[in-house]
Chain A
Amino acid sequence: MPDDNLSLTAKREAAVTALADVPREPGAKKPDPILVADDVKRHFGGLLAVDVDHVEVQRGSITALIGPNGAGKTTFFNLLTGFDRPNSGSWTFNGRSLHGTPPFKVARAGMVRTFQLTKALSKLTVIENMRLGATQQKGESFWRAMLPFTWRSQEDAITQRAEELLARFKLDTKRDDFAGSLSGGQRKLLEMARALMVEPELVMLDEPMAGVNPALTQSLLEHVSNLREQGMTVLFVEHDMDMVRDIADWVVVMGQGKILAEGPPETVMSDPRVVDAYLGAHHDQSLAELEEQLETGTLAEEVAAELGQEPAETVAVERTGETKDGR
């Protein structure tokens, strides 16, 4: 089916072209944003976990949100989807403000998330998990639930849609198994398929590859890029750079709650700020060296320098360079 292949590349092509002229800087404006967040802050006690000035997500693209552990990615996700409340800030989805909206309304608006720790509903069968995802079910109202003839035909339609999705995610053989009996990777697939039952415009995947057998990651990646082919926008959290490079059209890097950098995967990954955030500014030194420096006091100088007050920075760096060569 050459047509399929053509449209497959066309969608990616379209997303990349649309983003081509976007400046590679934090908070860059996108031509057609589906999600816009402004000045979102979340404190946990004294810790400022999320401090995002401005970020936009381009419609029809796959945007990766990356960053080291503790960068605030998941917290930011929770804020956007209503699972956590920010101390300040505002954001709009499709031009509609979602600030203070409870999670279920966020999902109904067309913004559906998955979770880092997969939430397959263990004691429901796979097909029941899927059916649960469908929205606007008549049989979900208390009084109508007792009158099966009022919801039977809708249930059949939902089941058919669920079976199609299961087939696409290769879970159709597990249809009547308990979700709790699935493997970790299968649960991820189920959760993604279930999210699609909501018919979202924006799919937010929190670490879709975490804890998945490497043999399965490739197929998971394909499923993620397929979402774009079906006209959905994807925002996903990941900390494995290689995964991101393969499928993302745009990458947003978070570190210590802030947006550090933005851009297409190739550009972002060579950005020194990103490398520092990921590996630490001292990533090419061993702990023993750092300890030695700490004892001699040079590290303190260096830290002070990095914080941007002392011009003595170059000296400190040179000196550490010497010790390194000496070994």
Chain B
Amino acid sequence: MDWGNILELSLRELIGVQAIVFALAAIGINVQFGYTGLLNFGQAAFAAVGGYGIAVIVTTYDMSFWLGLVVGIVGAIVLALLLGIPTLRLRADYLAIVTIAASEIVRLVGRSAWGRDVFGGSDGITGFSNAFYDLNPFTEPFEFGPFQFRERVLWVLVVGWVLVAVCTLVVWLLMRSPWGRVLKGIREDEDAVRSLGKNVYAYKMQSLVLGGVIGALAGMVYSLFQGAMQPDVYATNFTFFAYAILILGGAATVFGPVLGAAIVWFAFQFIDLALRGAIQQEYIPSWLMDANDTGAVRFMLTGIVLVLLLVFRPQGILGDRREIALDAR
């Protein structure tokens, strides 16, 4: 087994596009769920709206890439308002139900035959990322030790990590401000916050919109990287994956989602390659599993790790143990 190679490929995933996409999605959920206590189970819908914003504007309507960016973000804001207006006055569970349904609605409308002319059906939309890659200032591959990145990937990574950094900075600034204090208060007990003269509904809406816009950025990065907007990428498992990452890293921590995303994608790649290597070397007997099973087994192992984490470190990697201890009282 070539451990050097396995480690190198895994480290690429640590800072890879998948990690960026899920870090962004999880940062959005962190604002909503981690800090405000809003159960948004429809983060996939926000990501899909972001991706469709660019794809539809550029490919279907042949308009500017920049307009596509704006449409994607405005679309996420509108979606947040649509979901929030009827549900945010109600108990937390209603938002969860409505958002999970909405995320499937967005995906199913996107892949429907009815909307094929606009959304491209189940094949999705391609050919909208040229304007983005035309902006690429990198003309040759970047080499760093054993790592080599092609210019296109490099461009996505740079833009993506800058976005992650900006979003993290915004969350950091907000959560140490009085605004963030109100959100955390709402998470603990919204009636108490109401009784202190705060417009809880407006704060929840702001939180939902902010998290949704960050989710839309995740969808934009992913579809620009792929060069294609495919609706089925944004099924409900996208959302739950982002939740798992957030909980792993530590909900209501500033760097938790980023760390969680990096670790998960690193671990995924590492487990996959290590298993394949072990099968090839016949360390693992073929009656137990073959190379085709690694995809499933790595999910199983990830699941076990998550369960162990929730048992032994429920606050996540970066969370504060004392906060969890309070829940038991």
Interface residues of A (CB under 8 A from B): 81, 83, 102-105, 107-108, 112-115, 119-124, 128, 131-133, 135, 137-142, 145-146, 148, 151, 155, 178, 180-181, 191, 194-195, 197-198
The residue on B at minimum CB distance from A191 is B192
Task: Contact check, B182 vs A132: say whether CB atoms are below 8 A apart.
Answer: yes
Interface residues of B (CB under 8 A from A): 170, 173-174, 176-182, 184-185, 187-189, 191-200, 206, 210, 322-323, 326-327, 329
Task: Contact check, A119 vs B329: say whether CB atoms are below 8 A apart.
Answer: no
Q: Kindly list 15 other residue pairs between chains A and B, CB separation below 8 angstroms, not including A103-B195, A107-B194, A145-B178.
A: A104-B199, A112-B196, A114-B195, A123-B188, A124-B188, A128-B184, A131-B178, A132-B185, A135-B196, A135-B197, A142-B174, A151-B177, A180-B326, A181-B322, A194-B196
Least Cβ–Cβ distance between A106 and chain B, in angstroms? 8
User: Which of A115, A138, A145, A195 gathers the greatest number of chain B CB atoms within 10 Å?
Assistant: A145
Least Cβ–Cβ distance between B84 and chain A, in angstroms? 15
What chain A residues lie within 8 Å of B176 (beta carbons)? 148
Given A104-B200, A121-B192, A146-B174 contact (CB < 8 Å):
yes
How far is B180's CA from A128's CA once the two chains are assembled, in angstroms? 11
Task: Contact check, A115 vs B193: say whether CB atoms are below 8 A apart.
Answer: no
Task: Contact check, A107 vs B197: say whether CB atoms are below 8 A apart.
Answer: yes
What chain A residues lie within 8 Å of B195 (beta carbons)? 81, 83, 103, 107, 112-115, 119, 195
Number of A-B residue pairs at CB separation under 8 A? 112
Show 19 A/B contacts (Cβ-Cβ < 8 Å), sorted by A: A81-B195, A83-B191, A102-B194, A103-B191, A105-B197, A107-B196, A112-B195, A115-B195, A119-B191, A121-B184, A123-B323, A124-B184, A128-B184, A135-B197, A141-B179, A142-B174, A151-B178, A180-B329, A191-B192
What chain B residues lie within 8 Å of A142 (beta carbons)? 174, 179, 206, 210
Least Cβ–Cβ distance between B204 and chain A, in angstroms? 12
What chain B residues lie within 8 Å of A151 (beta carbons)? 177-178
How far is B36's CA from A123's CA once the two chains are assembled, in angstroms? 12
Least Cβ–Cβ distance between A205 and chain B, in angstroms? 12
How far is B195's CA from A112's CA once the two chains are assembled, in angstroms? 6
Task: Contact check, A131 vs B206: say whether CB atoms are below 8 A apart.
Answer: no
How far is B198's CA from A194's CA once the two chains are assembled, in angstroms? 13
Which residue in A102, A119, A181 is a CB contact (below 8 Å) of B326?
A181
What chain A residues lie within 8 Å of B196 (beta carbons)? 104, 107, 112, 132-133, 135, 194-195, 197-198
What chain A residues lie within 8 Å of B187 (beta carbons)? 123
What chain B residues lie within 8 Å of A123 (beta carbons)? 184, 187-188, 323, 326
User: Which of B193, B194, B323, B326 gathers the greatest number of chain A CB atoms within 10 Å?
Assistant: B194
Across the A-B interface, the 9 shortest Cβ-Cβ residue pairs:
A145-B179, A139-B178, A119-B192, A180-B326, A107-B197, A145-B177, A121-B188, A103-B194, A108-B197
The residue on B at minimum CB distance from A118 is B192
Task: Contact check, A132 vs B193: say whether CB atoms are below 8 A apart.
Answer: yes
Which residue in B177, B185, B197, B210 is a CB contact (below 8 Å) of A104?
B197
Least Cβ–Cβ distance between A100 and chain B, in angstroms? 15
Task: Contact check, B180 vs A145: say whether CB atoms are below 8 A apart.
Answer: yes
The residue on A at minimum CB distance from B170 is A146
Which residue in A112, A138, A148, A198 is a CB contact (below 8 Å) of B173?
A148
Task: Contact check, B191 vs A140: say whether CB atoms are below 8 A apart.
Answer: no
Which residue in A81, A119, A140 is a CB contact (below 8 Å) of B179?
A140
How far is B176's CA from A128's CA once the two chains are assembled, in angstroms? 11
Given A104-B199, A112-B195, A119-B192, A124-B185 contact (CB < 8 Å):
yes
The residue on B at minimum CB distance from A155 is B178
How far is B286's CA from A253's CA once the two chains are assembled, in angstroms? 81
How far is B39's CA from A127's CA once the two chains are assembled, in angstroms? 27
What chain B residues lie within 8 Å of A198 (beta carbons)? 196-197
Which residue in A131, A194, A197 is a CB contact (below 8 Å) of B181?
A131
What chain A residues lie within 8 Å of B178 (beta carbons)? 131-132, 137-140, 145, 151, 155
Least Cβ–Cβ distance between A123 and chain B, in angstroms? 5
How far is B196's CA from A135's CA once the two chains are assembled, in angstroms? 8
How far is B178's CA from A139's CA once the two chains are assembled, in angstroms? 5
Which residue in B177, B191, B322, B323 is a CB contact (below 8 Å) of A139?
B177
How far is B193's CA from A107's CA once the two chains are assembled, in angstroms? 10
What chain A residues lie within 8 Å of B322 (beta carbons)? 178, 181
How far is B189's CA from A132's CA once the two chains are assembled, in angstroms? 12
